[in-house]
Amino acid sequence: MSGLAFYLPFIWAFIVILAISVYVILDGFDLGIGMLFAFEKKPEHRDIMINTIAPVWDGNETWMVLGGATLFGVFPGAYSTLLPAFYIPIIIMLGALIFRGVAFEFRIMAHSPNHRAFWNTGFMTGSTLAAFCQGCILGGYVQGVHTSHGAFAGGAMDWLTPFSVLCGLSVVTGYALLGTTWLVWRTSDELEARCRRWSKRLSILMILCIIAVSCWTPFLHAPYLHHWIAFPNILFGLPVPLLVALAGFLMWRTLDKEHAITPFLCAIGWFLLSLVGLAITIWPYAVPPTLTLWDVASPIPSQLFQLVGTVILLPIITGYSIYSYYLFRGKVTKADGYH
């Protein structure tokens, strides 16, 4: 394989993982806040929770569109096998995201308390279901997809296994934790105190999920196990569990104190470490266990043309996204009410 044909998919895999990670973290706390509507019933608190994300959620969700479009353009072989393979959970996720997305506007515009209650429920259910589907897709992806001649050749329900359900529940837990720790940072008084309590319970659950998924994954396919125990991979792999433990320790310490943003950063750390762990496991497959990155990549001119744009545009996008977060910074109280 010539230089570019070898390195470009490598660079692109990195960018795709980056886009997915940013999506998971940013929309993770949006979806988490949606789930918390199940436990937080006070209308003022609900409004504050929504107000912390109203100006930014749309930008957060756009990272998911970027992930999909990048796969489409750069790894069309993966896009065209994975999407049919996860047809059912993707369709349900899209439906759930529709309810979640319109609920932002509809619950405000509702003309009667019943309507408002309905869209609040839609917001909660949509967020939870979307998160669960994303977890199932992730689990189904890790456990592998049946292909033949580069096209999907499995059944419609192949993705549904105990492992993928475990992953679904883990993602739900993780997003809820991102949501509560985000609120610890962005709210005050009673709501903040409740979120600190919730964060503690959720971080215990989260640790259990990470352990369960990590112990199960290496036994899904022989190469996965090999990746982890072979030398020198183990040197890259070993720090991951240690860092997870460190983040847990920090989280626990700071939840009792005045620290505002640290728990949120710890939750992000957990997500990043889990994703890195997964990437190490699966490498170099784009569609495990058969197609590698190089099998599914676009022709070089496509990858190059898109790379030029990405290298120029991603920093600009990051710039104005940060500006938008900065503009709406600080603890949100009722009085702020831009909704």
Partner 1 sequence: MVNDHELPLTIARIQFAFTVGVHIIFPAFSIGLSVFLTFLEGMWLKTNDNRYLNLFKYWLKIFSIVFGMGVVSGIVMAYEFGTNWAGFSAKAGPITGVLLSYEVMTAFFMEAGFLGVMLFGLNRVGRRMHFFATCAVTTGTLISMTWILASNSWMQTPQGYVIDQKTGHFLPHDWLAIIFNPSFPYRITHMGLAAMLSVAFTVAAAGAWHLLKAKKGGTQADSTIRLMFSLSLWMIVITAPLQIIAGDMHGLNTLKYQPAKIAAMEGDWTSETRAPELLFGIPNMKTERTDYAIGIPLLGSFILTHDINGKVPGLKDYPADQRAPAPIVFFSFRIMIALGGLMLLCGLWSLWLRRRQRLFDHPLFLRVILTMAPAGFLALLCGWVTTEVGRQPWTVYGLLRTKDSTSPLALSSLSFSMLFFVAVYLFVFGSGLLMLIRLLRATPEAADNTSDDIMILGSHHHTISQNKDAS
Residue numbers at the binding site for ligand HDD (CB under 6 A): 58, 61-62, 65
Is 237 one of the binding residues for partner 1 (CB under 8 A)?
no
User: Which of the choices ligand HDD, partner 1, none does residue 11 contact, using the CB cut-off of 5 to 8 A by kind?
Assistant: none
27 counts as binding partner 1 under rule CB under 8 A: no
Contacted entry of ligand HDD, partner 1, none for residue 284, CB cut-off 5 to 8 Å set by kind: none
Q: Which residue has the tokens 């549904």?
A: 160
Whose Cβ is closer to partner 1: residue 203's or residue 303's? 303
Dist CA 332 CA 49 (whole Å): 8
Q: In the set 11, 17, 59, 237, which binds partner 1 (CB under 8 A)?
A: 59
In angstroms, how far is the first alpha carbon of the chain from the final one? 56
Residue 217: which of partner 1, ligand HDD, none does it interact with, CB under 5 to 8 A by kind? Answer: none
Interface with partner 1 (CB under 8 A), residue total 69
Q: Which of residues 246-305 bind partner 1 (CB under 8 A)?
A: 298-299, 301-302, 305
- Any residues with CB less than 8 A from the CB of 242 and at least 6 apart, and which? none
Residue closer to ligand HDD by CB (options 148, 318) is 318
239 binds, among ligand HDD, partner 1, none (CB under 5 to 8 A by kind): none
Q: Which residues are CB-neighbours of 220 under 8 A, at least 6 positions away?
A: 142, 143, 144, 163
72's CB contacts (< 8 A; 6+ apart) are: 79
Q: Which does 306 bind (CB under 5 to 8 A by kind): ligand HDD, partner 1, none?
A: partner 1
- Shortest CB 192 distance to partner 1, Å: 22
Q: What x/- string results for residues 131 through 150 when contact with partner 1 is judged by CB under 8 A? A: -------------------x
